[in-house]
Chain A
């Protein structure tokens, strides 16, 4: 990564900025105040609704400068907000996720076809018991501590291409699902598409299992891809870090800026 800041403000801001943690540097604050004043004046000269709007932006800018508003906040809000909004699904009960895995379809198919593997991809499942060639019993953890169970029957089994299944008998979560495999163009591996169709709205599914179907499908495919491609799941498990609670447990500190 490259970056050497060429900023004039750093020289000026070094002392105060190091102390005023989380706040804009002095130069930035002055810039905002001056810019705000300029906009305010422009707004006043223009008059009308446009002028009022300009004045309001100017006032906000001035205030941000004067109070040294936090710099990090806009970066959080902006990038996500600026992307085009995704259109909501027309049929919320149907959700689909797709991923490309750098492996032949046979390998992906073989892993998924053994439903007993699925709790490795779906941590919200406790276990899947395979009852026969076409039937299995799925046991989910359930958000209220009570296990949620359903029986699954396989419908179509087209080797290395398509697998469809549906819930059978009495269940709180009636749904059907499919896994479609298709060779990706070039040497990119296999496009894997998981579709879940629930009878209940997503909020109801999330209430029982803790995740919306959309999130379930997406997370399951992400884990499938990692398992197939790398043989492991990337993780921050048990990794060290310092004090998370600002200012708590000062005994753990050996030294610091202030």
Chain B
């Protein structure tokens, strides 16, 4: 089959590789119909996530049809149209049983690297480096899905492929950001990052009762989409001081909830000195992640407010304003998405017309255009929110 393989920093190639096979009794093989790029892939491309190996197939947000199933798969069947959660849970360990499947004890076949770096290891992720299990990704014609009954969700009638594919990752990540924050009616929610996940967080914040949602970015097309599609009030951080603007919009209180949908490659906007400082330290390895968004959220958030972090961080940060966080009594919630907990609920919102993530798919391309697609996504050219590959088109 054909697959999009990582070969080094900013080096992606479409290669011919063997087809995946059933290995474990709970596996299925999915024929991939749609597979989306994701902002977190840019960390892999940029070389910020260690433990990638040349030849690794990337991609983790996908939809397809089951063509083979293992002898112990009970609920899913050949021919089912399923969306698969990008972070793999086993469904049986204590974390999975409590809905925290991204913390799964069992799905990472290579726990040593993550244990050494983090103390404990998290779940395996499709196509996301060997620290996260080294699973082959979904930018391919076929993919093996382990623990299929737990990770695969049959897409209900009435939901299109274009809507369903994002229930794999972008939608549950945004929804979880809003859910973790414990939004109460009347809350003002500020979301840093107006990409696909940020916009899903904005929409979810409204679904969970937020009164106002503010979206922060610097790309005009993304700010426009956040406003038109997700109903957010746009804030361009290259034009205004984010702290001042947020205080002014909230009667001096600050937002009740601040959501980070950016992660480790943030820049510091107008503050060139801070940006220079963070980049220099990242280059020489004094820190691996740039925490500009975190610093801004801590400063801007209202006293006693909640910071909800779904933007990906991988290593260590420097100059973290712990004093401000402590003395303002802030609550921090964070984590990789637990999509298995949300998938059915999200289908419900989509069927009722309360949520339609299909507009994130601004480009639908052949898998052969993979390298070009990632370049465009990275450049944010042509108003690109998501390039989605159709490997069998």
Q: Which residues of A contact B (CB under 8 A)?
A: 1-11, 14, 17-19, 21-25, 27-29, 31-32, 34-36, 60-61, 64-65, 69-80, 82-83, 100, 102, 188-189, 222, 225-226, 229-246, 252-258
Contact = CB atoms under 8 A, between A and B. Distances in A.
B371 A256 contact: yes
A242 B284 contact: no
Interface stretch (B52-60, B227-235, B348-356): B52-60
Interface stretch (B37-45, B157-165, B206-214): B37-45
B372 to A, nearest CB: 8
B258 to A, nearest CB: 14
Interface centre among A34, A102, A240, A255 (most CB of B within 10 A): A240
B18 interface: yes
A33 to B, nearest CB: 9
B39 A71 contact: no
Contact of B311 (A2, A25, A189): A2
Given A2-B263, A3-B265, A189-B94, 6 more contacts: A2-B201, A32-B283, A61-B283, A240-B1, A252-B17, A253-B13
B34 interface: no
Interface in B246-298: 261-267, 269, 275-277, 279-280, 282-288, 293
B279 A27 contact: yes
Nearest to A246: B54
A34 B90 CA distance: 49
B336 interface: yes
Nearest to B90: A230
Contact of A2 (B55, B124, B146, B197): B197
Contact of B12 (A17, A238, A257): A257
Contact of B282 (A36, A71, A240): A71
B315 interface: yes
B93 A240 contact: no
B357 interface: no
Given A1-B197, A17-B10, A102-B94, A236 B135 contact: yes
A5 B14 contact: no
Contact of A232 (B19, B20, B26, B144): B26
Contacts of A238: 20-21, 23
In the A-B complex, the 7 residue pairs with the smallest Cβ-Cβ separation, listed nearest first, are: A74-B285, A4-B195, A242-B5, A2-B197, A35-B280, A3-B39, A1-B40
A61 B282 CA distance: 10
Interface in B114-150: 116-119, 124-125, 128, 133-136, 140, 144, 146-147
Contact of A21 (B9, B25, B144, B315): B9
B391 interface: no
A189 B144 CA distance: 30
B47 A22 contact: yes
Contacts, number: 308
A23 B9 contact: yes
Given A230-B26, A246-B54, A72 B9 contact: yes
A230 to B, nearest CB: 5
A241 B282 contact: no
B109 A235 contact: yes
B282 A3 contact: no
A1 B55 contact: no
B371 A255 contact: yes
Contacts of B57: 240-242
Contact of B13 (A4, A65, A257): A257
A248 to B, nearest CB: 10
13 contacts: A2-B262, A4-B193, A4-B198, A6-B218, A10-B379, A22-B9, A23-B9, A74-B282, A75-B285, A80-B117, A238-B21, A253-B15, A257-B375
A8 B50 contact: no
A205 B304 CA distance: 55
Given A242-B55, A245-B54, A10 B378 contact: yes
A89 B56 CA distance: 38
A236 B17 CA distance: 15
Among A6, A61, A232, A252, the most chain B Cβ lie within 10 Å of the Cβ of A6
A60 B284 contact: yes
A3 to B, nearest CB: 3
B276 A35 contact: yes
B49 A241 contact: no
B316 interface: yes
Given A102-B93, A239-B20, A241-B17, A3 B283 contact: no
Given A2-B261, A11-B379, A230-B92, A242 B38 contact: no
Nearest to A100: B94
A256 B9 CA distance: 13
A80 B285 CA distance: 13
B305 interface: no
